[in-house]
């Protein structure tokens, strides 16, 4: 006579289901701990970045003979309205528009040499874009956009975008 051991199988499946729920609950608790740990760090670094931005914009400067088009703008980024990080700013972007004499390539050469001597590195995708160039220094990104070209007299409208991002290493 052969005995069927069904109760042993059922007990093992209940243990597996309980283990899955236990792991899920542990992940939720860890996520909450992780968020609470980083929340104050993000706020402190965002305040420091906000105070450093004016100095960096001064260091970056404008091309010789450029005229600013309006004032600087600042935008605070978040991770979306459904994010659990809602209310915590982890990215800040400053915008500056200007019109400079000369063509984009000459202006870009001037900026590239100035930025690389200040410790910025080129952060372009391959192949390099004809409308923007990107530079990186720590948690800071600088994007120089080519907005328009004019021929008489030769001048270029540019948009400079300086971004700080907490999550970048």
Angstrom distances, CA of residue 40 to CA of 67, 89, 98, 158, 169: 39, 11, 36, 36, 18
Q: What pLDDT was estimated at residue 62?
A: 85
Is the pLDDT at 59 greater than 70, yes or no? yes
Instruction: Pull the structure tokens for residue 125.
Output: 């995708």
Q: What pLDDT was estimated at residue 3?
A: 58
Question: Residue 52: left if φ>0, alpha if ψ -120 to 50, beta else—which one?
Answer: alpha
Residue 137 confidence class, pLDDT cut points 50, 70, 90: very high
Q: What pLDDT was estimated at residue 84?
A: 57
110 DSSP assignment = H
pTM, whole model, 2 decimals? 0.75
Give dist(CA 10, CA 6) in Å, integer: 6
Angstrom distances, CA of residue 151 to CA of 67, 87, 102, 155, 157: 17, 46, 9, 7, 12
Q: What tens digit of pLDDT does each residue of 11-40 get? A: 778 888 899 999 999 998 998 888 888 888
Domain segments of the chain as ranges: 41-165
What is the average per-residue pLDDT within 116-126? 83
Residues 132 and 55: beta-carbon distance below 8 Å: no
CATH of domain 41-165: 3.30.70
Give dist(CA 29, CA 42) in Å, integer: 20
Residue 87 confidence class, pLDDT cut points 50, 70, 90: low
């Amino acid at each position: 006579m052969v005995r069927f051991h069904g109760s042993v199988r059922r007990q093992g499946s209940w243990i597996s289901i309980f283990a899955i729920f236990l792991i899920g609950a542990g992940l939720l608790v860890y996520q909450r701990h992780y968020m609470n740990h980083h929340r104050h760090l993000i706020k402190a670094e965002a305040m420091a970045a906000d105070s450093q931005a004016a100095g960096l914009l001064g260091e970056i400067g404008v091309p010789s003979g450029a005229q600013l088009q309006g004032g600087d703008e600042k935008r605070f980024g978040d991770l979306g309205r459904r994010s659990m990080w809602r209310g915590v700013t982890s990215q800040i972007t400053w915008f500056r528009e200007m019109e400079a004499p000369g063509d984009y390539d000459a202006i870009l050469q001037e900026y590239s040499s100035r930025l690389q001597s200040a410790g910025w590195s080129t952060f372009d995708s391959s192949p390099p874009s004809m409308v923007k160039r990107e530079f990186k220094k720590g948690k800071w990104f600088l994007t120089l956009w080519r907005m328009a070209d004019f021929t008489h007299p030769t001048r270029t409208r540019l948009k400079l975008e300086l971004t700080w991002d907490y999550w970048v290493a």
